[in-house]
Amino acid sequence: MVKVSVLYPNEGGSFNMDYYLKSHIPMVQKRLGPACKQVTVEEGVSGTDPGSKPAFSVTAHMLFDSADAFRAAFGPNAAEILSDIPNYTAIQPIVQISEVKL
């Protein structure tokens, strides 16, 4: 199992969470289909010190059976998914694929 994490650095830019949750994520789920086993979205609230800023304003995590399964589902839909980003933020996301160990 792999986790694909999309991390939006807390750079002070705007982020339309309503659009992200109601439009972007459902579109991504539809395009990736059954290859995407689970999606979670988190909004950063703090760093470790009280009152400190979180490193990431928003993170999204998707589970797939393998990196190849992700690439097969994402590849044909990449242009549409990526072209929707300006509809909710100007923040450039960081993407990481991780193997789930536990």
What confidence tens digit (pLDDT) does each residue in 22-70 have? 999 999 999 999 999 999 999 999 999 999 999 999 999 999 999 999 9
DSSP letters of 27-68?
HHHHHHGGG--EEEEEE----SSTTPPPSEEEEEEEEES-HH
pTM of the model: 0.95
**Region of 24 on the Ramachandran plot (φ > 0 left; ψ -120 to 50 alpha; else beta):** alpha
pLDDT of residue 79: 98
Residues 21 and 48: beta-carbon distance below 8 Å = no
- In CATH, what number is assigned to the domain containing residue 8? 3.30.70.100
Cα–Cα dist 82/66, whole Å: 21
How does DSSP classify residue 100?
-
Render pLDDT for 63-96 as a digit per residue (tens, 0 to 9).
Answer: 999 999 999 999 999 999 999 999 999 999 999 9
Total structural domains in the chain?
1
Give the domain extent around 35: 2-99
pLDDT value of position 93 = 97
